[in-house]
A and B are shown apart, each in its own frame.
Chain A
Amino acid sequence: MWQHFAQLVINGVITGTILALTGVGATLVFGIQRIANFAHGEYLTFAAYLGLILNASLGQNLIVATFGAVIGTALLALGLHYLVLRPLRGRGLVAMSLITVGIGLMLRDVVFLVAGPQIRQLAIDQSAVYDLGIVRISPGQAVAIGITLVVAPALAIFLSSTGTGKAMRAVADNRDLAAISGIDIDRIGAYVWILAGGLAGIGGILFAVVQGTFDPNLGYQVLFLIFTTVVLGGIGSAYGALVAGLVLGLIMELSTWSGLAGGLEPRFKPLLAFVTLILLLLYRPQGLFGKARVL
């Protein structure tokens, strides 16, 4: 039973870190650009397929593929910012949401048209298992752990110690105060898309290797988990999203633990995330770390 518990903790931490990384990007976009980006899931899909092209078609290794996916997705996010979202800003929350929904549909169906609906996988051994005493991890999970061990601390240091990271948090926290203290809002607005795109790129690759297989619905399926992470952490709070992703990942995995009255059936894990979201909106809409203020 405890072995099961340890295994679930590992799985939860892996899923949680992926959610945390993508959630940080989404929450900063939410806070800085005032956009609920419904195309965010498709950025992950785009990254996974970019990785697939580099990895499976061009024969590059997974590290190169990840770098390529990160850069490509960051450029995609930046391009959409300058081509579509920035010219259309000021349309109001609801109109902007609908625009990102439209962008998401377009991106997803371009992937469907180009890559086809069949299930794909990155060139990684799906059958191998590493036995580490009490827990077993797949090569995909090992890659995910390796990447997050580098990226998560780097992200935390970037947000806490660099000028750009601090400026991003400041703009997300209070746009007007940040502007009069001399922060170039426009520049930060572009940087945040690069950051969010890059993190979505990592997230897309990680989901692809952890799940093993994926299809063009990869990103859309996790979109609401990303949004739940954002709300759980408090909209605009980067550290909140880091913690919330981990919490959500652990809640979903540990709910299936056999020590917990037999545990929840795994197929109800997404339902649990939905219930979490609804309860959160009911009792603590500002999230775990957000400030209570009139929205």
Chain B
Amino acid sequence: MGVFNPAFWIFVSVIAGIYAIMALGLYVQFSLAGLPNFGHVAFMAVAAYTMAILAVRYQVPLLWSSLAGIVAAIALAFIFGIPTLRLRADYLAIATVAGGEIIRYLAMNLPDLTGGPVGSMAMLGPTKLAMYNGGWQAMLGAISRAVSSFLGVTLSRDAVMAAIVWILAALLIILIWRLERSPWGRVQKGIREDDVAVAAVGKDVVAFKMQALVLGAVLGGLSGLLLAFQIGVFSPDDFLPTLTFYAYLILILGGSNRIYAIPVGAIAFSLLYSGTRFLNFFPLSLFDSGSRAFLRLFLVGALLVLFMALRPQGLLGDRRQLMLEK
């Protein structure tokens, strides 16, 4: 596909919107509540797999199987959170890194349930093609027809998808923005800066942390579902641990961990990410397309280190927000 093909850019914008929702989940956990979740991708994978398994095997309607996917993501948040939230922050980081790998490992090694390395299309065995997103495509088609009959504009299904994803992302960002300025959000920021002080004024610190973890898991699960709907057939390789660090980079790229920076970061990241395929000039032409994927990940790592290094007050610290006199 060429640079000037609009279908390509619609595709990029869908992915950017999904990444924005994914990063928003991490924003709630990491930027707002200070919880280092290094296995965000596990929430996405669990939601997507639960939805697909229910839809394919038990013909559960899409709405209910999607809700079940979100519930599964919440359950995973409890599995991560209950043992670790009483402990120092790095224990959560260790548990989530381990959990992210385990979910992917299970998806690889339970081929009867998940389709194994082949992916979701092998869920019913090698002979039958398993599809889970018929309902979603039908809905996109119906919306597309409705739009063209009312407004007289023809929108492709991908354009409808982009609209849905971005409207959803915008609504969720506004919701979290409101939540951040509510008493609940202020308690979360207080815990982030000094949980002992917050506990001393009688707040249940562990419960607040758990709420942030669960809310982030819901958003992560939602982005996992949208990703599954968008790509149609997914495999464990679509939920590599690096996805989590894309989300971190989006938070940091947008600048200073502000919530309005998330869509900016998501768009910037998606442009960088999908734009690299057009960068064929020297010296990038020295790398073939396979190596360029690794080069891209190397840059993700380098940017993480660089941004962390260049922010001397630390990523999370914003004490001014909490001080009485500014």
List residues of chain A with CB under 8 Å of any chain B CB. 36, 38, 84, 87-88, 91-95, 97-99, 101-110, 112-113, 117, 220-221, 223-224, 227-228, 231, 267-268, 270-271, 273-274, 277-279, 281-282, 285, 295
A contact residues around B304 at 8 Å (CB): 98-99, 101-102, 105
Once A94-B89, A99-B304 are accepted as A-B contacts, the answer to whether A227 and B309 lie under 8 Å apart by CB is no
Q: Nearest chain-A residue to B242 (Cβ)?
A: A105
Instruction: Check A109 against B301 for contact (C-beta < 8 Å).
Output: yes
CB within 8 Å of A: which of B280-305? 287, 290-291, 294-295, 297-298, 300-305
Give complex CA distance A38, B301 in Å: 12
Q: Nearest chain-B residue to A282 (Cβ)?
A: B83
Give complex CA distance A285, B87 in Å: 8
Q: How far is the CB of B302 from chain A (nearest CB, A)?
A: 6
- Report the number of A-B residue pairs with Cβ-Cβ less than 8 Å: 137
Instruction: Check B309 against A99 for contact (C-beta < 8 Å).
Output: yes
Q: Does B94 belong to the interface (CB within 8 Å)?
A: yes
Once A36-B93, A270-B105 are accepted as A-B contacts, the answer to whether A278 and B83 lie under 8 Å apart by CB is yes
Segment of B153-161, B202-210, B311-319 in the binding face: B311-319
Instruction: Check B308 against A281 for contact (C-beta < 8 Å).
Output: no
Instruction: Check A105 against B300 for contact (C-beta < 8 Å).
Output: yes
Give complex CA distance A84, B84 in Å: 28
Point out which of B79, B291, B301, B315 has the most chain A C-beta atoms below 10 A from its C-beta. Answer: B301
Point out which of A87, A109, A231, A282 has the most chain B C-beta atoms below 10 A from its C-beta. Answer: A109
Give complex CA distance A181, B87 in Å: 30
Give complex CA distance A38, B38 in Å: 10
B contact residues around A38 at 8 Å (CB): 38, 93, 97
B contact residues around A274 at 8 Å (CB): 98-99, 102
Q: Nearest chain-A residue to B241 (Cβ)?
A: A220
A contact residues around B112 at 8 Å (CB): none
Chain B interface residue count, CB cutoff 8 Å, equals 48
B contact residues around A108 at 8 Å (CB): 297
Give complex CA distance A285, B94 in Å: 12
Give complex CA distance A259, B93 in Å: 36
Q: Does B178 belong to the interface (CB within 8 Å)?
A: no
Point out which of B94, B241, B303, B317 has the most chain A C-beta atoms below 10 A from its C-beta. Answer: B94
Q: Does B106 belong to the interface (CB within 8 Å)?
A: yes
Instruction: Check B316 against A105 for contact (C-beta < 8 Å).
Output: no
Give complex CA distance A87, B308 in Å: 12
Instruction: Check A109 against B295 for contact (C-beta < 8 Å).
Output: yes
Give complex CA distance A223, B93 in Å: 12
A contact residues around B98 at 8 Å (CB): 224, 227-228, 273-274, 277
Give complex CA distance A227, B101 in Å: 13
Instruction: Check A95 against B97 for contact (C-beta < 8 Å).
Output: no
Once A223-B97, A224-B97, A295-B87 are accepted as A-B contacts, the answer to whether A105 and B106 lie under 8 Å apart by CB is no
Instruction: Check A97 against B301 for contact (C-beta < 8 Å).
Output: no
Of the residues B91, B301, B317, contact of A105 by C-beta under 8 Å: B301
Give complex CA distance A288, B88 in Å: 18
5 closest cross-chain pairs (CB), A and B: A105-B301, A102-B304, A281-B83, A106-B301, A109-B298
Q: Nearest chain-B residue to A41 (Cβ)?
A: B97
Q: How far is the CB of B179 from chain A (nearest CB, A)?
A: 21
Give complex CA distance A18, B315 in Å: 35
A contact residues around B38 at 8 Å (CB): 38, 97, 101
Give complex CA distance A104, B305 in Å: 10
Give complex CA distance A84, B91 in Å: 23
Chain B 175-208, CB-CB to A under 8 Å as 1, else 0, gives 0000000000000000000000000000000000
Q: How far is the CB of A86 from chain B (nearest CB, A)?
A: 12
Q: Nearest chain-A residue to B308 (Cβ)?
A: A99
